[in-house]
Amino acid sequence: LSLLHRLLEDDPVVVAPLLLNKVLVVGGVPAERVSGRIVEVEAYRGADDPASHAFRGPTPRNLVMFGPPGHLYVYFTYGMHYCCNVVCRPEGTAGAVLVRALAPLAGLDEMRRRRPRARLDRDLSSGPGKLCQALGLDRTFDGVDLLAASSRVRLLDDGTAPPAAVASGPRIGISTQLATAFEPWRFWVAGDPNVSR
DNA sequence: ATAGAGATTGCCT
DNA sequence: GGCAATCTCTATA
């Protein structure tokens, strides 16, 4: 088992900052490949985190969160946007890391075609909905194994060092009524221009 | 059955 | 800064 495999068995709060500077790649042949470096994430713990989709148990939408770690959880929200997560914790225990922002690496022309309203490169994938649009991720990608070589989406360690400085703070868009709303479970690469805010 | 909120984005004032 | 767009899920009746 690879380092990533073992890492992803852990608590999302531990895993999340360790995913910074890892790479998300969509598509097989280089000509169609689109990729970006992860620069912002949030941890969702599951059973003890009322902000997590898995808090009330499995449903058709969140079922992948209860499956094996290292798979992609993609959900549809606000009637128009997709968001993608890396599933954590052993099979049977829910947990995930929401990918909130990427620094574009490859396939920028394709990203611009999918996001015609992005004026600057930093508008391409600087948000959870934006990056799914830029990468072409939708519900058909729900459950894909990110660590299998043959998958349509992969999570890679390209050898880049961890960020020199990681910042953290409360998660975005969480109702302040929830018990875990103020936990500092959002992590980002300090100073990166692609961070969502 | 119906209503309201939601892990968002982009346009308008 | 405010708000519409528009689907899914949850809570309440």
Which among A112, A15, A34, A129 has a CA at the least distance from the CA of A74? A129
Dihedral Cα A124, A130, A133, A137, nearest 10 deg:
120
Taking only the tens place, the pLDDT of each residue in A46-71 is 999 999 999 999 999 999 999 999 99
> What is the model's pLDDT at position A4?
87
pLDDT tier, A144 (very low <50, low <70, confident <90, very high otherwise)? very high
Mean pLDDT of chain A: 96
CA pair distance A112, A55, nearest whole angstrom: 36
pLDDT tier, A2 (very low <50, low <70, confident <90, very high otherwise)? confident
Taking only the tens place, the pLDDT of each residue in A71-121 is 999 999 999 999 999 999 999 999 999 999 999 999 999 999 999 999 999
Residues 128-187 of A with CB under 7 A from strand B: 128-131, 171-175, 177
Which nucleotide is at minimal CA–C1' distance from A171? B7
CA pair distance A69, A58, nearest whole angstrom: 15
HEC sequence for chain A: CCHHHHHCCCCHHHHHHHCCCCEEEECCCHHHCEEEEEEEEEEECCCCCCCCCCCCCCCCCCHHHHCCCCEEEEEEECCCEEEEEEECCCCCCCCEEEEEEEEEEECHHHHHHHCCCCCCHHHCCCCHHHHHHHHCCCHHHCCCECCCCCCCEEEECCCCCCCCCEEEECCCCCCCCCCCCCCCCEEEECCCCCCCC
> What is the model's pLDDT at position A10?
97
A46 φ, ψ to 5°? 105, -120
> What is the model's pLDDT at position A30?
84
Give, in degrees to the nearest 5, the angle at Cα A160 between A143 and A99: 35
Work out the average pLDDT over A149-169: 97
The spacing between the Cα labelled CA in A56 and the C1' in C13, in angstroms, equals 22
Which nucleotide is at minimal CA–C1' distance from A42? B7
The share of chain A scoring above pLDDT 90, in percent, equals 94
Tell me the β-bridge partners of A83: A75
Residues 57-76 of A with CB under 7 A from strand B: 65, 73, 75
Query: Burial letters for A99-111: b for 16+ Cβ neighbours within 10 Å, e otherwise?
Result: bbbbbbbbbbebb
pLDDT at position A17 over 80: yes
pLDDT tier, A143 (very low <50, low <70, confident <90, very high otherwise)? very high
> Is the CB of residue A79 inside 7 Å of nucleic acid strand B?
yes
> Is the CB of residue A115 inside 7 Å of nucleic acid strand B?
yes
A110 φ, ψ to 5°? -65, -40
Which nucleotide is at minimal CA–C1' distance from A100? B7
At position A67, the amino acid (one-letter code) is G
Which nucleotide is at minimal CA–C1' distance from A81? B8
pLDDT at position A1 over 70: no
